[in-house]
Amino acid sequence: MENLVKIVENELIQKNQFPEFKAGDTVVVSYRIVEGEKERIQDFQGVVIQRRGHGATGTFTVRKISNGVAVERIFPLNSPFISGVEVLKRGKVRRARLYYLREAKGKAARIKEKRAAAQSA
């Protein structure tokens, strides 16, 4: 039974091709919004606080502060409304779920940036 579900998922659901990202990374999600007859793309920039699920049912949660109000949005990985994901910064974190950012304020809410490997000349 489990194999049948995987076969149907692979055949029917088109998978989006995104760059590799994980919790702690700062990303810009370009989301297609349909308003009546019109259609536009809106960017949602924030920190990924979790990745959940795998395959067709995978989701990721992005958190940002907008005008002093925290906004979290859950995006399905295979949503046809996501037109692209761009990774701005790689975060250096030791957790898969960053729920502690919800209570953190100011400097405590910052995430260190993962530095590129040093090249010796």
The predicted pLDDT at position 120 comes to 54
Read off the pTM: 0.81
State the Cα–Cα distance between residues 106 and 93, nearest whole angstrom.
17
Number of Cβ within 10 Å of residue 104's Cβ equals 12
pLDDT recorded at residue 118: 58
- Model pLDDT for residues 91-110, shown as the tens digit of each residue: 999 999 999 999 988 888 88
